[in-house]
Amino acid sequence: MHHLLPVLVAVPLLGATLLVTAGRHLPRAAAETVGCLFAAGTAALAIALLLNSSPPMTDWVGGWTPEGGESVGIVLVGDGPGLGMAALASLLTVAALAYSWHYFDEPPRRHAGSFPALMLLFQGGMCGFAIAGDLFDAFVFFELMSVVAYALTGHRVEEPKAVQGALSFGVLNSLGAYAMLMGIGLLYARTGELAMTKIGEGLDRHGSPDALTLAAFALVLTGLLVKAAAVPFHFWLPDAHAVAPTPVCMLLSGVMVELGAYGVWRVYRTVFSGPGGIPASDLEHALVVLGALTGLVGAVMCWYQRHIKRLLAYSTVAHMGLFLIGIGALSPEADDGVALYILSHAGVKAALFACTGALLDRYGSVDEHALHGRARELRGVAVLYVAGALSLAGLPPFGIGLGKAVLEEAVGGPLTVLFVAVSAVTAGAVLRVAARVFFGLGPRPDDESSYETTGKKEEPETRSRLSRVPDTMTAVPAVLLVLSLAMGAVPGFAAAVGHAVSGRAAPAPHWTLIGVLLGLTSTLLALGLATLAATRPKLLGDGAWTAPLRRLQSGHIGDYVAWMLAGTTLLAALALPTILNG
Amino acid sequence: MSVLPYLVAAWVFLVGCYGLATSRNLIHAVGCLAVCQSATYVLLLAVGYRDGATAPVFSDLKPGSRPVVDPVVQALALTDVVVGATVTAVLLALVLQISKLHGTVDPDELSELRG
């Protein structure tokens, strides 16, 4: 079975090549069918491999197996978490392609294959990153998925906002990737190995950690945390997500950002967790500080957005903070919780973006204030939107609620307050949008804006404004939400996820009374916040105190780069006690 | 083996970052990103260097007769060059579109996305 691991990357790349070469002569429906078939085939393969991933598979590509423990070959690792991320990325790609079916307007009109081809390349890069077993290939796949993501973000090249957002995204992520490569170079210099587990063994042989280990740790994590949009590496994310085409947003928010967090988990577990690496207490310290900061900044910024896509993007930032805290806990129970949380968050966030895309294509705006009460006729979309917002708050029995409950139990202590607050505020913001846009609740908010990005005068992504929302655009979010409901409600699913992630090290994730109560608490808080904000906007203030925070999000690449360097320094400082005590 | 190449690599990376942070022109910024990447070439080649060794090309060299520098890092650097070319091409294409649509390549004058 392990010989099939490289096929997971090869199939989407082959499909992309086929679409690029033949796309010019294919009618649009044929190109889309080919794209969907290749994406779905990869998804099926990923799931088949995932079901056989215990014990984990290892494949040395091209038969370059180690001789006497030494190898220069490329190693792929097929274990539960890696193949799970590959399966998630593939399934979301299928969903995004289905969503864009027929209606999504693609700029190069004479080349129907270009958009599905880029999506397949993106899928190939994400699958490759998920199963890469050596650090250098992880870097190469990281760059492959990043470059395709820049191109997809700026896909509507005639949109001024789209190209600007794509450039910030590109510069920040590439700089992060180069920092990661510097770290990989340092690790290779120390150990002479590239395979992750081998680097870990090499570090342990060398003895206790020193300045080089610390530098490598900070540099490698910088690259991954830029991708994971941890504060202060996060500035590119709202800019990119606000401008990317909706099907691309579904993938960016649903799985690409999460792959950064997955990378942190994998690299720490395999490379730095031994006695020669960074002690667990330091990693926990670093990730909890960064995660709490990310959760707070994301939630505050999310609440004060009026551009709906930016609002959803900041909600992703906030939830990434919670994932990072969970990863920092370094316990099998927390891993299970994070895995469930990521899976169902992907479904819910993709569904919310899909619904927002329907608004954009129908009304040519994604501005909460301008759309006030205009979408009353879209009953189906409204139901989906509210369901998505409630599940984002952690309403039982949605999968997010279960994942969050397991995570809260594993992390415990005062951080539980943060978990409840972040999910209540982000879900409250989404509910407020739903209340205003779909139900016209409360007074019409005033329209003036001096500094922030509004969502007015956006171009629809379809050829012309839709007079009705097509069935594919509502079916895709509906299916995604049902799946994310099933993750929490079908008892066997959570147990299977737990088994794939942590084996028998932790009890199968299950609902507890406290978990249900905490989920209900954050849902009620979210409902209360949304009602208050929609009916009595003055009561919650106008957010003037957030002005300094909002000015940081300046859209200026230079500022973002400076923040990234500050973040790397912070990361190194948080892990510094290792060296001083070692 | 002296520590100089490592210091050079760190300096090149930081000077590229400085250029990016203070850039007044997006084409210049993409160039600075390429400078940051050059630091990774310097670092990788420095890691593989051995005193008195020659290039790892065995067409005119009997294996084992002379020490050679580490070929793995050279393969990494080559891959890195390919990655860099792709990134630079995509980013420059985006700058071109920015210049066409915004009428400027000065990042201080781009104000579409903020807050």
A147–B90 CB contact, under 8 Å: yes
A465 — pLDDT class (breaks 50, 70, 90): confident
Q: Which of A143-152, A469-478, B9-18 is predicted least confidently?
A: A469-478
Report CB contact under 8 Å: B9, A182. yes
CATH of domain B4-109: 1.10.287.3510
Reported as type and span, the H/E element at residue A58 is strand A57-60
Under an 8 A CB cutoff, do B110 and A453 touch? Answer: no
Beta partners for residue A195, in sequence order: A134
Q: Is the pLDDT of residue A455 over 80?
A: no
Q: Is the predicted pLDDT of residue A232 greater than 70, yes or no?
A: yes
Q: What is the pLDDT of residue A130?
A: 96
Q: How confident is the model at residue A109 (pLDDT cuts 50, 70, 90)?
A: low
Q: At residue A108, does pLDDT exceed 70?
A: no
Domains in chain A, CATH or no CATH each: 1-64+71-133 (1.20.120), 153-278+551-582 (no CATH), 280-442+516-541 (no CATH)
pLDDT at A393: 94
Per-residue pLDDT, B4: 93
pLDDT-derived band at B31, boundaries 50, 70, 90: very high
Cross-chain CB nearest to B47 (options A164, A189, A551): A189
- Chain A window 435-454: which residues touch B at a Cβ cutoff of 8 Å? 451-453
**Mean pLDDT confidence for A556-567:** 94
Name the residue of chain A whose CA is nearest to B38's CA: A178
Q: Which of A187, A196, A174, A192 is nearest to A216 (CA)?
A: A187
Confidence band (pLDDT; 50, 70, 90) for A255?
very high
Q: What is the largest CA-CA distance in chain A?
A: 74
- What is the model's pLDDT at position B45? 93
Of the pLDDT bands very low, low, confident and very high (cuts 50, 70, 90), residue B77 is very high
Q: How many CB pairs (< 8 A) connect A and B? A: 135
pLDDT at A213: 92
Is A433 in contact with A287 (CB distance < 8 Å)?
Answer: no
Residue B94 has its nearest CB partner, among A166, A242, A553, at: A166
Judging by DSSP bridges, how do beta strands A75-78 and A57-60 pair with one another? Answer: antiparallel
Containing A75, the helix (H) or strand (E) segment is: strand A75-78
Alpha helices in A52-159 (DSSP H): 80-99, 114-131, 135-153
Residues 147-166 of A with CB under 8 A from B: 147, 150-151, 154, 157-161, 163-166
Rounded Cα distance, A535 and A441, in Å: 7
A150-154, A163-167, A369-373, A501-505: lowest mean pLDDT where? A501-505
Q: CB–CB of A174 and B91 under 8 A?
A: yes
Those residues with Cβ within 8 angstroms of residue A202's Cβ, 6 or more apart along the chain or in another chain: A190, A191, A192, A193, A276
Residues of B in contact with A551 (CB under 8 A): 114-115
Minimal CA separation from B60 to chain A, in Å = 23
- Kindly indicate the confidence band of residue A518, based on its pLDDT and cuts at 50, 70 and 90: very high
Residues of B in Cβ contact (< 8 Å) with A146: 87
pLDDT of A199 higher than 80 = yes
Helix (H) or strand (E) holding A308: helix A308-328
pLDDT for B37 equals 95
Taking an 8 Å cut-off on Cβ atoms, the answer to whether A174 and B87 are in contact is: yes
Nearest-CA distance from B64 to chain A in Å?
A: 18
**B68 bridge partner residues:** B54
- pLDDT tier for residue A159 given thresholds of 50, 70 and 90: confident
> What does the pLDDT read at residue A168?
94
Residue A77 corresponds to which tokens in the numbers above? Answer: 């690792």
- What was the pLDDT predicted at A443? 84
pLDDT tens for each residue of A485-495: 999 998 889 99
Closest CA–CA distance from residue B13 to any residue of chain A (Å): 9
pLDDT given at position A229: 94
The reply to whether B31 touches chain A by the CB within 8 Å rule is no
Taking CB atoms and an 8 Å cutoff, what residues of chain B touch A242? 113
Q: Which residues of A touch B7 (CB under 8 A)?
A: none
Band of the pLDDT at B1, cuts 50, 70, 90?
low
What confidence tier does A335 reach under pLDDT thresholds 50, 70, 90? very high
A557 touches chain B (CB under 8 A): yes
- Per-residue model confidence (pLDDT) at position B28: 96
Determine which of A75, A157, A174, A190 to mutate to test the interface with B (most B C-beta atoms within 10 Å). A174
Name which residue leads in pLDDT, A537 or A244.
A244
- Three-state SS at A376: coil
Whole-number average pLDDT of chain B: 91
Q: Do B90 and A170 touch (CB under 8 A)?
A: yes
Which residues from chain A sit within 8 angstroms of residue B11, using beta carbons?
Answer: none
**Chain B residues within an 8 Å CB radius of A135:** none
- Distance of alpha carbon A145 from alpha carbon A97, whole angstroms: 17
Decide if pLDDT at A192 tops 80: yes
Classify residue A93 by burial, with Cβ atoms within 10 Å: 0-12, 13-18, 19+.
buried
> Using a CB-CB distance cutoff of 8 angstroms, which residues of chain A are in contact with residue B73?
185, 188
**Distance (Å) from the C-alpha of residue A293 to the closest C-alpha of chain B?**
18
Mean pLDDT confidence for A72-86: 91
Closest by Cα among A356, A334, A363 to A501: A334
Report CB contact under 8 Å: B29, A182. Answer: no
Rg over CA atoms, chain B = 19
Is the model's pLDDT at A24 over the cut of 90?
no
Which pLDDT band, with edges at 50, 70 and 90, does A117 fall under?
Answer: very high
What would the mean pLDDT of A72-79 be, rounded to a whole number?
89
The answer to whether A10 and A74 have CB atoms below 8 angstroms apart is no
In this structure, what token pair is assigned to residue A173?
């992520």
* CB pair distance less than 8 Å for A160 and B102: yes
Q: Could you tell me which residue, A505 or A128, shows the higher pLDDT?
A: A128
Q: How does residue A450 score in pLDDT terms, banded at 50, 70 and 90?
A: low
When scoring A169, A172, A178 by the number of chain B Cβ atoms within 10 A, the one with the most, hence best to mutate, is: A178
Structure tokens belonging to residue A434:
């739903």
Contacts of A136 in chain B (CB under 8 A): 76, 79
CA pair distance A384, A347, nearest whole angstrom: 12
CA–CA min distance B85, chain A (Å): 11
Give the integer Cα–Cα distance in Å for A355 and A302: 18
Tell me if residue A510 falls in helix, strand or coil: coil
Q: Which residues pair with A58 in a beta bridge?
A: A77
Which residues on B lie below 8 Å from A555 (Cβ)?
Answer: 110-114
Between residues B52 and B85, the one the model is more confident about = B85
Alpha helical stretches, state H, A329-469:
332-363, 379-392, 399-411, 415-439
Give the H/E segment covering residue A241.
helix A236-243
Model confidence at B9, pLDDT cuts 50, 70, 90, reads very high
The answer to whether the CB atoms of B87 and A188 lie below 8 A apart is: no
Among A122, A140, A147, A164, the residue to mutate for chain B (most B Cβ within 10 A): A164
Nearest-CA neighbor of A546 among A233, A314, A370?
A314
Lowest mean pLDDT among A20-24, A96-100, A174-178: A20-24
CA distance readout (Å), A241 to A79, A195, A293, A417, A451 = 30, 33, 20, 28, 19
**In the predicted model, is pLDDT for residue A539 greater than 90?**
no
The answer to whether the CB of A135 falls within 8 A of the CB of A194 is: yes
Taking contacts as CB-CB distances below 8 angstroms, the residues of chain A near B76 are 136, 185, 188
Nearest Cα residue to A294 out of A239, A352, A238: A238
- Chain B window 49-108: which residues touch A at a Cβ cutoff of 8 Å? 72-73, 76, 79-80, 83, 86-87, 90-91, 94-95, 97-98, 101-102, 107-108
Which pLDDT band holds residue B85 (cuts at 50, 70, 90)? very high
On average, the pLDDT of chain A sits at: 91
Residue B113, chain A, CB below 8 Å: the answer is yes
Q: Which residues of chain B neighbour A178 with C-beta distances below 8 Å?
A: 13, 33, 36-37, 39-40
Helices then strands, counting H and E runs in chain B, come out as 3, 0
Contact A171 B80 (CB under 8 A): no
Please state, for a pLDDT cut of 70, what percent of chain A lies above it: 98
**Contact at 8 Å (CB) between A574 and A282?**
yes
Cα separation, A453 vs A188, in Å, equals 44
Q: Using CA coordinates, name the residue in chain A closest to B107.
A: A556
